[in-house]
Chains A and B, each alone.
Chain A
Amino acid sequence: MISITSHEIILKKYLNPDNNPDSGSQLYFLGTTRNNNLGKQVTYLEYETFEEMALTKLNEISEYAIGKWKLNQLDIIHRIGRVNISEISLLIITSSAHRKESFAAIEYVVDELKKIVPIWKKEFYLDGSAWIGSADNPN
């Protein structure tokens, strides 16, 4: 399942180990909001996306990963809008026969997501804000 949502991601809604009897490994990766970056105190994040393209790219990443690592399950859920400290911005779930495939797939999905999926993060501080990843941004 691929999803971009403006709602809070509640982990326990997705925990379902009984769902994959043919898997010996299930991994859950959580990207969460950190309260600091580059020495500045972060108060919250806001994510923006080009949703149609982001979903297209996430589906491409997912299809490749499922085929390469023979995954029984791959879910990618990304939150957009305001995300408070310690809340989940990204949830990736993989299931596979053995652990190595799930670990490799998660690393690949996160790396590709951070390279090609049009989602942007803006950090908010006590005294301002900055878009992250932008070379045009002096911060």
Chain B
Amino acid sequence: MEYLDHQPIQLIFLENTMKIKIKFFGQHKEDLNKSELVINSKNNLTINDLIELLKIKEPNFSKFKSYAIAVNLNYENSDYMLKENDEVAIIPPVSGG
């Protein structure tokens, strides 16, 4: 009789994480060399927290001094609490017209 080895089962608990999509434009897109980034993060993340996270994930982001943040097409303040599947846009100073 042959016994099969038990393979360890790896369990990943995702219930306390959420997915956030971040979009970059203009000078930011060029300097970071990307137009989009998806991050998995803990829940209870504010825009302020997200910015700090971005500075770690994308060191070049630290040099940007002036931008607004939009969530799901609306401008929001830095204390805005992000939700699962929110789409965040980093808006450099606009210059249309």
Contact = CB atoms under 8 A, between A and B. Distances in A.
A134 B70 contact: no
**Chain B interface SS verdict (over half):** loop
* Interface size classification for chain A: 20 to 34
Given A120-B95, A121-B97, A134-B66, 18 more contacts: A48-B25, A50-B23, A50-B91, A52-B73, A53-B73, A56-B73, A110-B97, A114-B97, A116-B94, A117-B94, A120-B26, A120-B27, A131-B27, A133-B94, A134-B95, A135-B66, A136-B92, A137-B27
* Interface size classification for chain B: 20 to 34
Interface string A38-63: 00000000011110111010000000
A31 interface: yes
A70 interface: no
A90 to B, nearest CB: 5
Nearest to B73: A53
A98 interface: no
B24 to A, nearest CB: 10
Interface string A92-123: 00000000000000000010011111111110
A117 B40 CA distance: 29
Contacts of B23: 50
A89 interface: yes
Contact of B97 (A52, A54, A56, A89): A89
A31 B97 contact: yes
